[in-house]
Each structure stands twice: as C-alpha cells, then as structure tokens.
Structure 1
Amino acid sequence: MKKSVLCIAASMAALPMLSHADSPYFSLKDGDGFKRFSVSVGALHVMPQGKAQPFHVDTSVKNGETAKVGDISIDAVKANMDPAMDPNISTWFVGLLDKLGTSTLPAGLSGTAEINGLQSWDNQGTGLEADDVTTLGIMTNYFFTDNISLEMKAGIPPEVDLNGKGKIYAPFAAIATPELGIIDLPEIAMKNSLLITDLEAYGPAASARAWTPAAEIQYHFGKTGVNKFRPYVGLGVMYAYFNELEMNPQIEKDLIAAGHMIANIKEGNAGASLEGKPSKANPKVDLEATDAFAPVATVGFTYDFNDKWFAVGSVSYAHLQNETTITVTDATHGELIKSKADIEVNPILAYAGIGMRF
C-alpha cells in the first residue's frame, strides 16, 4: 500500500514536467534548447528631446579692420547711425544733403570706416531642433545564454527635419571718417543689428538623412518555454551619421546675401553692405554635420505566441549631440562666413514589432 501511494505521488509530481515537455506551446525543457537568433521588424518612432543651442558666427572681417565706404545712400547712413552718438558737423552735413534732396553720399566724400563686431559673435535664442520622425525598425539578437543577448538596432534611415529657432543678427559697428577736401570732418559712429535671416519664417530650416545603428547588451528576465512575457533591459552605444543635408532655399538665399555683405567690405564697398547690394563675389553655401557616438539604454519586453513567433515593444533613450557647420565661401575671397551650432538630439525611441526566432 505504501509502495502504491509513493508510486502515485511520484507519478503526480512528474506529471507537470512531462506535460510541459510535450506542451504544444514549447516542446522544450526548462532552460534547454533556447533559440540563439531572433529578428524583428516594426514601427520605430523617434522623439528628440534636445533644446536649440545658439549659433556661433565667425566672418573674415576682423575687429578694427578699415575699409573704404564707397558710394552709400543718405538713407543708409541715417538708418545705421549710433543712436547714442552726439550730433556733430558730419551728421549735420548728412542731414543737409538729405534736405537738399541728395540721395547718395559719393565715394569721394564717404571716406573710410573702422569696422567692429563682425569678427565673431553668438546668437542667443537661435539654433536647430530635430523633429519627430517614424521609420521601419529592424532589431536582431544573438543569445549567448537564455538571458543574455547582443542586439543590433537598425532600420530604414529617415529624413529628419531640422526646425530653426530665432533670428540671426550681425552686430555691426563702425567709426566712419568722412572726407571733404582739406577739411577734417568729425567721425560718425555707426551701430546696428543687421538681420541676416529668420530661421522660423520659412518652414524647416534644413533636413538630413539620419543613419543611427546601435548595439546593446541585453538581459532578459524569465526562461524560454516557461515565461511567455519576458521583460528585458539593455545598455549599449549608438553611432549617428548624417548625409543628404539640404538647407531651406530661402535661408540659403539670405546667407548668400550675407556673403555679399562681407565680400563688399573686403572689396572696399562697405556702404553697399548696409544697402544689401550684391558684390563681385559669387558666394556658395555649404551645410555639414559631424558624426557622433552616444550611450543608449533600453527597457522592453517580448511576448511569445509560440516557440518561433513573438511580439516586442521597447523604449530607448540615447544621449546624442552633434555639431552643424554652415560655411559661406567664394572662389576669390575664400571663407567669408562660418557658423556653428550644437544640435542636442537626445532622442526617446519607441519601438513595437513582430519577431521570429530561429
């Protein structure tokens, strides 16, 4: 009798293991026979969290550089006089010419100007911010053990809009010395913030195609064949590469005009710079973005439909920042303007897909 009871008890104890081994869900034993490879595809939604960082601008006009003014309209002289300047004979003379209906101060009278402010400056309140984007994600895993895997994240590189923030101004200042034959005229102080472009006025300021592969070591909780729902965590690195960079045509046009402004000063026509007249130069605009590496962390889960097919969802965060450089150059004058800004991307990446193990 005791033997029979022990046999029945042993049989009942073994029943769960036998039924699990023959389960239609997984024909695997606990912890044995896990599949080492998996791949999934799904929707990858990227939500950048970074804030716009200010543009820093350098030009080829050094502080204290002296240039001929050339022909300049009376209106341009009046519009760019320093409001804090006390009136003198020179300003009176300009006012007299204006009252007499003279529209232009000729090169023979305008003299020279010592220019400041254009060598280097920061544009606070400006910058670029990456927009949200959705693309097709592809995730592949190689499992070293049932719990530890190496995941490679990839996908179709999306085109990302870069939205501009703020207006870029050039802090122009000059001391102009008019000429009137043998008479030494007093200096005219000039000071103005010259609008270069409005980064928010024309839609996205630029766009780029983003390649952001990543690799992670992940830890998966639970066991194959036991837990359908298995949460996991991961830590790794992302590489970001940007190409097909394009600038908004209207902003590019504004930057070409700024290139003419600098070229006019270099060519001895500083007055034409204040009037927005074209120079003899042929400015070209180029946009570049640096590559970057970023740490990435992930929390996610898988849900097994059977031993082959599963659903997956995850949320990742990458601390990603790169630098954008805009240059305006000319074959004769070389580099006229260089402007740089950091782009804080810092994206949250939400992924949902269907996968297969093999």
Structure 2
Amino acid sequence: MKKRFILKNIVIASSLLAVANMSFAAEHKRFSVSAGWMHVMPQGKANPFNINTAVDPKKQYGIGDISQSSFLGSITDTATMDDGQGIGNNMLAKPFLTQIFEKDATGGNFAQLLELLVDNDNPDSAVSGAMTGTTQINGIDQWTAQGTGLEADDVDTLGLMFNYYLNDHVSLQLMGGIPPKVDIKGKGEIVANMTGLATPGGFLSPLFPNGLEIGKDIPITNLGNKSKAASVRAWTPAFEAQYQFGKAGVNKFRPYVGAGIMYAHFTDIKLDSQVNKDLVAAGHMVQNILDNQSGAALDGKQSSASPYVKVKTDDAFAPIVSLGATYDITEKWYGVASVSYSKMNNKTTIDVVDSKTGNRLIRGTSKIDIDPLITYVGVGYRF
C-alpha cells in the first residue's frame, strides 16, 4: 500500500509538472504583432562623386568649328605665342586673339587676320576647324568632384513588428513597414576642370609651335540648388534577437535590448528632371569630343549620340541594435516604443549611355552613408 501510495504521488507530481511546462510553453512561446509610427533619421554625410568618361587623355581630338566666345574662353590667361622669329615671342595669346575678334578691328592686318580665322560660311562666325586644329584633353577623363554627394532625407512611415517568443525573456523580431518614398538631397556642383594643349592649324600654327594651352571649368550639374536631387522607394526589413527584462504577469513595464541585421533594397529611383537634362547634355559633350568636334562640345551642341541616364543603387546588409520597452495595457494588449541604429551605406552608380550604340559615355559613383536612427511608437497584441 505504501509503495502504491508513493508511486501514485509521483505520477500526480509528474503530471502536474508536465501541465505546468505546457502552460509555460503556451504562455511564453507565442507571437505578437504591433503597428505604429516609424520615423527614420539618416545620420550619414555626403561623399564626393567619382566620375569617369570615355575621353582618352592620351589621344588627340579634332576641335572643328567653334564659336568665338568658346574659343577665347578655352584659352588660359597665361598662354603665350612664339613665332620662332622673335616677333611676338612670349606675347599673351588671349589679348592678341581677342583684339582680332573685336568688332572695331576692321582695318589693317586685323581685318585680314579675321577673314582668315573666321569661317565666313558659318552664320555664327565660328572659328574655322582648319584654324583650331587638334587638342589633347585632360581633366574630364576622370576626377573626384569634391564637395558633392547625396544624402537621404528624414521620412515617416507605418511600422510593423512581428515577434516570436522563445521564452519569457528571449524573442525573435522581424521589423518592417510600408516602404516609404525617400527624398535624396544633393550637395555641391559637379564641375569638370578641363585642361589640355591644342595644336592650332592654318596661319595660327607658326604662332604656337609648342602648342596653345587651354583650360576651362565646365559645369555639369548643380546638385545643391535643387529641393531634391532624386527620390527612391526604400525596402528595409530588419531581423533581431531581443532580450526583455522583468517578468511576464509581474512587471507591466519591461525594457528590452536587441541586435541583428538590416537589409536595404531600393526601387523606383527617379532623378530630378533638371539633373537628368544636365547629364544628357554632358553625354552629348563627351560624344562630340569622341567625334572630333571638341568645339561643338564647348558650345553645348547636340552630338551624334542619343544619351540617356541610368541610375542603380546596390543592395546593402548592415548590423542593427535596438533599445526599447513594452508596457502592458491588458494581458494581451501592450504599448511599445524603441530606438534603433544601423551602420549602413550603399553605392549609387549613375551612367550616361548612348542608346544608339550602348556605349557608356559617363559613369559617376558615390557612397551614400545612410546610418539610420529609427524611432518607433506603436500598439501591439499578443496571441
């Protein structure tokens, strides 16, 4: 009887323990979902664009016809002449040529020089390609546009949090929300600092036996004077493991910490219309140079190409950490607030491509430091 009594008690105790464990599992291994306001504040700063073009700095390109203003504007202030005969040696080239182009220079040798220099068949009185010759072009093949870049603006969206509780303290969380449209601010002006050495032709050739120094700052586009340089839709889910302090059913207020990984994917990228127009014009400039029409490039004329702009952003993974708390309103309903930070960056690539040939005329790349600080306030339900 005594053994039977002991055995019966053991069975009862084991059953109660099993029921208790099942109750624990039912209470703590469960799901919760919350929804609320999510505010994303990128903390990163702009990084300069690195730009490459199809122009070969080792190659001589034909200049062709060029307007008088662009011709004079491309000559450096320090460029000098040297006819090899001691006449006009070390004379500054720009003042001399400017005198020739002045409207009141109608008499004497100036009128004859102007007649030789200018293409009289051209209604714009362009300097003849026979006189401009060829040029080597440096500075626009590749450069870093210091003081430029892109920065993501603050954004608000509906946030969603899904949790699975492994036990009373540890849970796995998937954080997301409705993918917001993010404005991308631009910074600075992209300018190509063109330099080179021209080899004039015709009667100008003897005056510049060592070449004619050229140099001109060519504005490409101003990113900083636009309300936004681009917009993009951001998909940024995050997965975290979290540890929650306190005890369920005892502490209504329970802080928690979390760490995990965040993923970013970007779609619907749209450039500002003026930026897009400027980049297309830059594509024409490069193609004109490749077509041995560098004068047309400086005059901003259309080329044989049909440029279009293509923008791509790389996907990114980054670590994320969170600090938050829940407050039980009822057994199942609760309020939640958190702040998270992710050290995230990605690369943006902007290509200008000729749709006729598929040739890439220009490529610009920049790293965007997003580094978002994310605040969230919501209401949740456990089940």
What is the TM-score of this pair, normalised by structure 1? 0.88
Match of 1:105 in 2: 127
Structure having the higher helix fraction is: 2
Distance in 1, Cα, partners of 2:279 & 2:177 = 34
Q: CA deviation at 1:192?
A: 1.5
Match of 1:8 in 2: none
Match of 1:215 in 2: 239
Work out the percentage of aligned pairs sharing the same amino acid. Answer: 45
Match of 1:17 in 2: none
SS in 1 for 2:282: helix
> Which runs of no fewer than 5 residues in structure 1 stay unpaired?
1-28
Match of 1:250 among 246, 256, 274: 274
Distance in 2, Cα, partners of 1:45 & 1:306 = 26
Q: CA deviation at 1:86?
A: 3.1
Task: State the Cα RMSD in Å.
Answer: 2.0
Question: CA offsets, 1:143-163, max 9 Å, x none?
Answer: 101000000001100000000
Q: CA deviation at 1:35?
A: 5.4
Which deviates the most, 73-82 or 280-289?
73-82
Match of 1:339 in 2: 364
- What is the letter of the counterpart of residue 75 of structure 1? S
SS in 1 for 2:28: coil
Note closer, same or farther for the CA distance 1:60–1:151 as it changes in structure 2 (3 Å cut): same
CA contact (8 A) 2:351 2:360 kept: yes
Match of 1:351 in 2: 376
Match of 1:95 among 92, 98, 102: 98
CA contact (8 A) 2:186 2:226 kept: no
CA contact (8 A) 1:37 1:140 kept: yes
Q: How many pairs are equivalent?
A: 331
Distance in 2, Cα, partners of 1:258 & 1:69 = 17
Matched, 1:301 2:325: yes
Distance in 1, Cα, partners of 2:217 & 2:180 = 38
Match of 2:250 in 1: 226
- What is the letter of the counterpart of residue 319 of structure 1? K
Distance in 2, Cα, partners of 1:194 & 1:350 = 43
Q: CA deviation at 1:87?
A: 4.8
Match of 1:62 among 48, 52, 56: 56
- What is the letter of the counterpart of residue 245 of structure 1? I
Match of 1:132 in 2: 154
Which deviates the most, 100-109 or 348-357?
100-109
CA contact (8 A) 1:91 1:188 kept: no
Match of 2:140 among 118, 139, 161: 118
SS in 2 for 1:104: coil
Which deviates the most, 159-168 or 192-201?
192-201
Matched, 1:172 2:194: yes
CA contact (8 A) 1:66 1:114 kept: yes
CA contact (8 A) 2:338 2:377 kept: yes
Question: CA offsets, 1:177-220, max 9 Å, x none?
Answer: 11116953412111121110100223200010000000000000
Distance in 1, Cα, partners of 2:26 & 2:309 = 61
- What is the letter of the counterpart of residue 191 of structure 1? G
Moved over 2 A (4+): 29-35, 83-97, 99-103, 181-185
Q: How does 1:78-89 map to 2 (within 5 A)?
A: 78-88=72-82
CA contact (8 A) 1:62 1:118 kept: no
CA contact (8 A) 1:235 1:297 kept: yes
CA contact (8 A) 1:117 1:173 kept: yes
Match of 1:152 in 2: 174
Distance in 1, Cα, partners of 2:157 & 2:358 = 43
Match of 1:45 in 2: 39
Q: CA deviation at 1:290?
A: 0.3
Distance in 2, Cα, partners of 1:31 & 1:209 = 40
> Which runs of no fewer than 5 residues in structure 2 stay unpaired?
1-22, 83-87, 106-113, 119-124
Distance in 2, Cα, partners of 1:83 & 1:92 = 9
